[in-house]
Amino acid sequence: MQHFSISSIQTWERFYRANFINSLTGFKSVSLIGTISQSGQTNLAIFSSVVHLGSDPALIGFINRPIKAAPHTLANIQSTGTYTINHVHPSFLELAHQTSAKYPEEVSEFDELGLTPEFFEATAAPFVKESKVKYALTLEQIIPIKVNNTFLVIGKLQSVALEENILLSDGFLELDKASSICSNGIDAYYSTQLIDRYEYAKPGVKPEKLTK
């Protein structure tokens, strides 16, 4: 094994350290968050920090970087109270990655990159038409994380749109068949292959595989 202490990690070059720390935490979901400003300007940005908070009520969080580094998504969510989260697939991966470029506020990443905004009733924020798994949220709470000026943004699930044939009979979504991708570090994207599903674990009982 190789061992590294924080005292040596702190001395590393900035991008080397960012690659290292960002990949240490493992594979992450990768989503495009769609928002709209009060004046109707749409925005789309890639996030790999979406986290499940609870199923009842259905609450989903994401981490927003410090305001200076990532201002537009958070400002739109604060002003309209709504946003969409859209899965990314290989067919538009390069465009999704490109949303991380620092476009000025008056540029819509939808228009600039050629992704299609899609509006469903009851939600002001734009979905990504090309995405097969997507959902709309209303803002529940923004919790400032003071130690590094980031934010935990908590949303309440409002609606879901799914391509046909992703939802199984037990409520599970076959995301590998939907070709949703995951990420690692700041720039690497992956497809996935199911190993197994296991039944609910109980002490002293070997869990059966649910996969046929």
Binders of a second copy in range 92-121 (CB under 8 A):
93-94, 97-104, 107, 112, 120
As a whole number of angstroms, the distance between CA 25 and CA 29 comes to: 12
Nearer to a second copy, 38 or 198 (CB): 198
Two tokens at 83?
């946003």
Nearer to a second copy, 67 or 194 (CB): 194
Judge residue 122's burial from the number of C-beta atoms within 10 Å of its C-beta, 0-12 exposed, 13-18 middle, 19 or more buried: exposed
State the number of binding residues for a second copy (CB under 8 A).
114
DSSP-derived secondary structure for 108-162: -HHHHHT--EE--TT--SPEETT-SEEEEEEEEEEEEETTTTEEEEEEEEEEEEE
Is 1 among the residues that bind a second copy (CB under 8 A)?
yes
Is 172 among the residues that bind a second copy (CB under 8 A)?
yes
Binders in 43-62 for a second copy, by CB under 8 A: 48-61
Is 182 among the residues that bind a second copy (CB under 8 A)?
yes
Nearer to a second copy, 38 or 193 (CB): 193
Is 133 among the residues that bind a second copy (CB under 8 A)?
yes
Pairing of strands 117-118, 31-36: unpaired
